Every structure is written in C-alpha cells, then in structure tokens.
Structure 1
Amino acid sequence: MVKDELNVDVPWEGRAIGLLDLDAFFASVEQLDHPEWRGKPVIVGGDADRRGVVSTASYEARTFGVHSAMPAAQAARLCPDAIWTHGHFDRYREVSNEVMNIILDETPLVEQVSIDEAFFDVTPGRYSRESPVSICRRIQGRVSELGVSCSIGLGVCKSVAKVASEAQKPRGLTVVLPGSEAAFLAPLPVRAMSGIGPATEARLARMGIRTLGALAASSDDMLLSELGTMGPELRARAAGTERAAVGERANPDEAKSVSNERTFASDLTDEQAIRSALDATCAMVARRLRRKGLAGSCVTVRLKKDACTSRTAQARLDEPADDEALISPIAQRLLGQLWHQGMPVRLIGVGVSDFSAPRPTQLGLFDDPEELRRRETMRSLHKTTDALKERFGDEAIAFGRDLRLRASTTNTQPQHKEDA
C-alpha cells in the first residue's frame, strides 16, 4: 500500500532508501536570486535563434508545455513571454552543496547522482532509530528554508525511491511502505522507470510488455534472449527487488570525468574553424581540471553532425595532464578519426578521465629541457589567466579561439551531469 500522507511515527521494517530530487532546480535558484521573477515563467537555456536547448523550465513555464531538452526555438514559440537566462552554474553548485550537507546531517550514506539528485539510506537502526518518514520531512523542511524545494521518494530500494520521487512533484513526499512496492509499480508504464528509453520501450512493446507489472512477471530467460544481461536487471527493478547499496558519503568533487561540449548556432564545415573550436573546448576542460586539482590520462572527443548522429574517439596521454598544451594535440589527432572534409559539425565535446595515475613528480632522464621550459611557461600563463577569470569573470581575458567559439555557440547552460 502506498500512502502520500503518513504519520511521521509510522513503523518501518527493513531498508529505507530515499531519493531527493530538487524541483526545477536551475529555474528555482534563478527565482530565488531574482525575487521579481517569482511566479513568472523562467527558462534556463541557450538562445532560441542559435540552436539552444532548454536546460530547465520553471513550473510556470511548464504549464505552456516547455520542458528540459526541448529546442529553445520551440520553447520560445510555446511561451513567448518567458524570462530567459543562460544560467549561473557556479551558483547552482553552491546551493546543491548546501542541500547535500543537509542530507549528510542525517546519514553518511549519501550518493549524489547529479547536481540536483541524491540517494540516501535512512534504514532504522543504522544511524538513527527515528522513522524514515520523519527524517524525510525534516530534510524537506530544511531544503525549503534555503529558498528552493525538493520532492522525495522513499522505499525499500533505489528503483522504488526513484519512481516515487516523480509521483508528486513539486514538493512531494511519496512513501512506498515495505511490502507494497509491487502494487505501487505494477500499473505504471515501463517508461516510468529510469533506464528505459524510447528504444527499449519499443522493444518491450513488441514483446507485449507495456507496464512494470508485466515486466516484473516476465521470465528472465526471455528477457535475456531479447535484451541481453540488461533484461533480468530491468525485471528485478520493475518488481522492486533490486538491492543496490547507496554509496557512502559520495563526494561530488571526486569526478570520474571532467568534460565540456558546445553546440553551434550554425554547422561548422571549415577545418580551421573546427580545429579552433576544439582547442577552445580543450582549454575549458583544462581550466576545470585545474580548478578541481585533477589531472587525467584519457582524452575523449565527441562530434555530432546532426541531432541524432554522434561519433566518439578516445586516446591515452603519456602522463596525467591538466594543461590544454598537452590535451589539445591528442584531441586534434582524434579529430582526424572522426571528421572528414565537408562533414558538418553541430557539436564538439571533449572529456578527460582516468585520474587514478599519479602525477609525475620528477623529470625524466631524457626529457628535453627546452620543451620542459616551454611547458612550464605555458602552464604559468594558463594559471594566470585562470586567476584573472576567477576574479573578474570569464569575459575578463580571452584568446582568439575563445572569442570565435563564444560567437558561434548557442549559450545553452551545460549541466555537467557527466561529472559523477
């Protein structure tokens, strides 16, 4: 049985996993910082005339049909009177960190999955004997005091908590009591569960499976033959029987990768323009690496020639790096594997990962002293420009490649959800 309004002292047996999801987060922070925008439609995203995309829409804008990932031009047609902003990611991260600290006050078992979502384990007896429902209500109250709101799903596992968090947005608390998860999930369409996109939904429909109840009742053998190893995993989640643990005290600053991508207002076809844009994107990633104190050994380049077609290539560096002088040459080499003359480029993305290798601490025996001096000079220059931008803003100083990229991109606010 599922109850949305429960006494805070309701008995709870077994695991208690919550999923906190901040409501229309980017737009909510903008309304918090601009009181005159409250109650009005606000859209955080790129420019409508430059292939921008909606990052987040306030609930006032959603009543017009605007939603995340919608082309900005379409959103502008649906809601012509909306207030638009490119967004302020540093501010969003600041508020996000405050929210995560509120959850950490209740339990060290917190797994942040994106800037606006986190799983947490409040199983009675682990760190508190208090009712999990009471804890969730307290978390919601403290988040509200920050000036933003959240919705929380509570159940016996991550899958149930995730689906429940979507049931009553905004400001919802949906509690799925232990033993009632199958009844809660069964009537829902398969797309209600994360991890089932349009392609998987279509494949399940061809098998006659359209609800989570039907998926839970399917045989593992049939699902394995049709969907591979993913099939039985989806069945367990649809039945509410998966038991994945919540990671302990996840640190959002311990990124698995650092990346950046830019969508262009008009397709790039000129090789010099494409390579210049790639250099500028590498510089953005390098700056973020230095800010985080990270150096990575693996470089990934991603290109999109249209909305549906993307290509990716990857290569390793000889040593961990946080400097565009080392990252860009590898990225340029990878470009040769992905792009050919005449191919339009809609999007360029660069990522750096594998932070496990230690940073070199001494010079190699055969290192070229002149090359080392050149590297140190460039690194000193980059650190100086970093400091100027941190103090005076990104517009304070720029290379020619940065100005060209700035003029050609859509200004869509990146959400950096890949840095998890």
Structure 2
Amino acid sequence: MRKIIHIDMDCYFAAVEMRDFPELRDKPIAVGGRSDRRGVISTCNYQAREFGVRSAMSSHQALLLCPDLVLVPGRMSVYKDVSQQIREIFSRYTSIIEPLSLDEAYLDVTDTEQCQGSATLMAQAIRDEIFNETGLTASAGIAPVKFLAKIASDLNKPNGQFVITPNQIDEFVKTLPLKSIPGVGKVTAKKLLDHGLSTCADVQQFPKAKLVAAFGKFGHVIHERAFGRDERAISPNRVRKSVGVETTLAKDIYTLAQCQQVMPQLIQELSARMQRSAKERKIHKQVVKIKFNDFKQTTMEHRSDELSVNLFSSLLSEAIQRANGRGIRLLGVSVGLADETVMQQDSQAVSQLDLPL
C-alpha cells in the first residue's frame, strides 16, 4: 500500500502577489489580462472568489461580478522561481515527485523514514517548511492512491490537509460525487447522470460492461475509481502529451479570412515552442480550437505524423462552420505528441515546420 501526498498551493499566483505587495492582501485580486484586451483570469484570491470570480473567467465578467477587483498582470518568472523553491522542499522528503503544474505535485513517501514514516506528519512538515521559507500556504491530501490524494487536498482548503486511510476508502467513495473524480468534466458528468449515475455508489451497482460500452476505456477508469482503486504510480519523468498555443483576440472576428490572418503567427509560435520543449518527439494529431463570443468552444482534430500548415487550414475551415453567426474571441492550435512506446519504435525527431510566411 502506497503513501501518497498531493500538495496544492493555495491561490498560488495571487498568493505570490499578496506576499510581494502587502497592500493587496485585504483586497479582492485576480491575476489576469486587462478587461479591455479580452483578458482571462489565471487565478484569484479567496476574497475575489466570494464574489463568484473564478479561474478561466473573462476579466470583463469578473469585474462585473466584483467591481472593486484589482487586476494584476502575471509575473511568470517569479512564479517559476518560487515553484523551484517549493520543489526543493519536496526533495527533502522523497525523490519520487510528479509535478502537475507550478503549484501542485504528487509525492510518494512510502519508503520515507522521516516523521516516523507518517505521511500525515510529513505533509504537515512540508506545509510548515513551505510557509516558513516562502511565506505561502499549501493544502495537502494524503491517501494510498493518487486520485483520492488529489481529491483530499481540496477538502480542507485553504491551508489545511485531509487524510484518507486505507480502511476509510470504502466508506469515503460511496458518497463521492462522480464529478469529483479527476478527468470527469461537465460533459461526462452529464452523460453519467443521463444513465442515472451521480455517485460512486451508483456506479458500484451498475454493470461494468454497460459502463464501458457507453464511455469506452474511460468507463473502465470510472468503474475502478468508484471502488477506490487507482494503480497508477507516481511518475517523476511525466511525459508531455501535447503542445499548443492560443490567443484571445482584441475584438471578435467572424470570417474565415480573418481567422486565416491570425493563424500564421500562431503556427509559428507553436513551431518555436515544439523546438524548445518537444524537439525529439513525434506528433500523432493536429488540433484547431475556437472559442465563440458566448464562451462555448469547439475543436477539430485529425491524425497526422508531421506538421502541416494545410491541415491546420482545413481544420480551421471545418471548425468555423460551427460558428452559426457567433463571433470568434479565441483561436488556438496544438499537436498531440506520440507516447513513449511510439518514441522507442521510431526515434526520428520532429522536423521543423516550414512556414510559408
């Protein structure tokens, strides 16, 4: 039985800003773009959340909900530096660390002897050291499996922790809403509800074959999670699955021709990002994303083993047909990266995109 800790920093970007600029501490703040430039909220502090402000919300909408909201431009280099400080603290307790982002990570402390081998005491010690050395608070979840540790870290936020012991798993998952399982988004949750499934207890009584028939491979995952099972180990060398770029437009655009004027710069940025972070990886698909002015979005994708400007253009043409008169506020392009098995079978590097600019 593993001992897994999930550490999640509390409103990380906003917390760094409040630490560095004390005059912001008693105000509702959000890190994000300016409202007159179609900005989007990256994160916000808890004062802002009381007004309904949330991550991924437009800055304009956030200001409507909270007129006194202070918008702070992000300082990514600072957030990365502090994140490295936090990861150094993790490394004092284990070398088995799986970062999920700058502000959260899984730690496997199964074989760690510190704190009498208690994962609960280690989580507390890690949180104390983070606060003492960075001035920031973190929350933690402790459990024998990954997905429950992640869920647990959210249960006593902010600046708290929650433990699920092995003998508590069965009771805990019975009442667990399926929408709380990582990977179950709004669409999947609604589809599950259409089958009469809202909690793990419901899935426990539902035929597995029907679940897999309705949800494919993810149906198997849902079935396993409903019984509190998750065999995934912590992966220190987590493999990147995709690379993408997107831009929120200053004003809505409506035509294919207007979109085509934006695409070359996006594709050029994508190519540069691949050269920096995925140079030795093959791709297996290309994706175009459009977000409309009603904040609904659509994606079009197609399998491809090499980058193609023409394919991006074709996907864009298909995606824009779904606009139905709506304005377009965001465009994005991305590629899916082949997994390690494919990499081992074919070590040919991804060729640099030849841009007709």
TM-score bracket for this pair, using the shorter chain length: 0.7 to 0.9
- The question of whether the paired residues in 1 share the 8 Å contact of 2:291 and 2:331 is answered with no
Which amino acid is 1:243 matched to?
E
Kindly indicate whether residue 286 of structure 2 is the aligned counterpart of residue 300 of structure 1.
yes
Aligned to 1:264: 249
Identity %: 31
Deviation at 1:290, TM superposition (A): 4.9
State the AA in 2 paired with 1:339: S
Could you list the per-position Cα deviations for residues 250-297 of structure 1 after superposition, in whole angstroms to 9, with x for gaps in the alignment? 36xx64433211121323345664334222223333444455483555
Q: 3-state DSSP class of the match of 1:102? A: helix
TM-score by length of 2: 0.82
1:310 maps to which residue? 299
Q: Which residue matches 2:332?
A: 349
**Could you say what secondary structure the match of 1:240 adopts?**
coil
Q: For 2:214, which of 209, 226, 233 is the aligned residue?
A: 226
Q: Deviations over 1:50-91 (max 9, x none)?
A: 443222111111111111122322211111111102312232
**Partners in 1 of 2:18 and 2:349 — Cα distance?**
42
TM-score, with normalisation over the residues of structure 1? Answer: 0.71
- Do residues 96 (structure 1) and 83 (structure 2) align? yes
Compared CA separation, residues 32 and 255, structure 1 to 2 (3 A): farther
User: Where does residue 83 of structure 1 map in the other structure?
Assistant: 70
Amino acid at match of 1:226: A
- Separation in 2, partners of 1:219, 1:115: 39
Render the CA deviation track for 1:29-70: whole Å, top value 9, x for unaligned.
222232221232111123334443222111111111111122
Shift of 1:345: 4.1
In 2, the alpha carbon distance for the partners of 1:276 and 1:96 equals: 37
Q: Distance in 1 between matches of 2:280 and 2:210?
A: 45
Cα offset, 1:353, TM superposition: 5.7
Structure 1 contact 303–346 (Cα < 8 Å) conserved: no
SS in 2 for 1:170: coil
Q: Pick from 19, 24, 35: which aligns with 1:37?
A: 24
**Structure-to-structure mapping, 1:281-296, within 5 angstroms:** 281-292=266-277, 294=279
Query: Residues of 1 paired with 2:313 and 2:282: CA distance?
Result: 18
Distance 1:351 1:21 in 2: 27
The gaps in structure 1 that reach 5 residues or longer are 1-13, 318-326, 362-374, 379-400, 402-420
Work out the number of aligned pairs and report it.
337
What is the CA RMSD across the aligned residues, in angstroms? Answer: 3.1
The correspondence of residues 264-413 of structure 1 with structure 2, limited to 5 A, is: 264-269=249-254, 273-292=258-277, 294=279, 297-298=282-283, 300-304=286-290, 306=292, 307-313=296-302, 315-317=304-306, 330-331=308-309, 333-339=311-317, 345-352=328-335, 354=337, 356=343, 357-358=347-348
Distance 1:53 1:360, change over 3 A: closer
**Quick one: distance in 1 between partners of 2:181 and 2:336?**
29
Q: Distance in 2 between matches of 1:278 and 1:174?
A: 46
The structure, 1 or 2, with the larger RCO (C-alpha pairs under 8 Å, 6+ apart) is: 1
